[in-house]
Amino acid sequence: MKFNYLYNPFFLIAGFKSFIIGFIGLLLTSYLAYLTGTHFIGILNIDFAKDSKFCFFLLESSSHWFLMSTLFFLAGTILSKSRIRAIDVFGTVLLSRLPFIIVPLIRIIPFFQSFSAYSTAMFIIIGVYVFSLIWFGLLVFNAFRISCNLRNEKLIFSFIICLILAEIFSKLLIWLLT
């Protein structure tokens, strides 16, 4: 039963509490990403380069969160019969990003700091990233489902559309800034 909390902790933590925990997680992830040069461009692209200032890494993480939460909130407001609280949507989505801390955390180890293409280090990092991506997917799906109180087709289709749009918009934003 407790295993469920790993991919659906939102029955226990939601609203302002999840926002605070998620926000600390976001700052920590961005700082570790800055230290190790781990770029999250949207969620489907990861890049390894110690080439930018801290604010750029913070922007990469926070822009995707903000865009995704806004889209979820809009979808929830339009499609759900319940009253949607912005703090629930933004807080739970923020908390869902916690698995993204794993890759920058691993990249503190010297073996993973600088490596050649198709090396063991590269494949391990990609493997870990895929794992954290799946974990994030489960968390954010439950975050959307619970905070927007959506079900069935409405839930599935709006989730997929929001995910795609957030990915496109965040990539566009980062591209415009670089």
Partner 1 sequence: MKTNLLPLCFIVLFSLNACSQDLKKLDNTEVDSEKLKIAQAFANDFFSGLKNDSYYEFNDVAIDELKNQMSEENQKALYKQLKSQFGDFQFLEYAETWIQSNNKSVQINRFKGEFEKSNKKLEIRVVVNDSNKIAGLWVKPWSDMLQ
Output DSSP code: residue 38: E
Out of 21, 35, 37, 79, point to the residue binding partner 1 (CB under 8 A). 37
State the minimum distance, in angstroms, from the CB of residue 18 to partner 1.
Answer: 32
Could you give the dihedral angle defined by the CA atoms of residues 38, 137, 142 and 42, in that order, rounded to the nearest 10 degrees? 50
Residue 176 is a binding residue for partner 1 (CB under 8 A): no
Residue 78 corresponds to which tokens in the numbers above? 């339009």
Smaller CB separation from partner 1, 38 or 92: 38
Out of 52, 77, 80, 149, point to the residue binding partner 1 (CB under 8 A). 52
**113 vs 92: CA distance, rounded Å:** 31
Residue 120 is a binding residue for partner 1 (CB under 8 A): yes
129's CB contacts (< 8 A; 6+ apart) are 46, 103
State the minimum distance, in angstroms, from the CB of residue 167 to partner 1.
Answer: 21
The secondary element (H helix, E strand) that includes residue 99 is: none
CA 94-83-17 angle, to 5 degrees, is: 30
Out of 124, 133, 138, 146, point to the residue binding partner 1 (CB under 8 A). 124
Smaller CB separation from partner 1, 13 or 121: 121
Q: Where along the sequence are the contacts to partner 1 (CB under 8 A)?
A: 37, 47-53, 56, 113-120, 122-124, 177-178
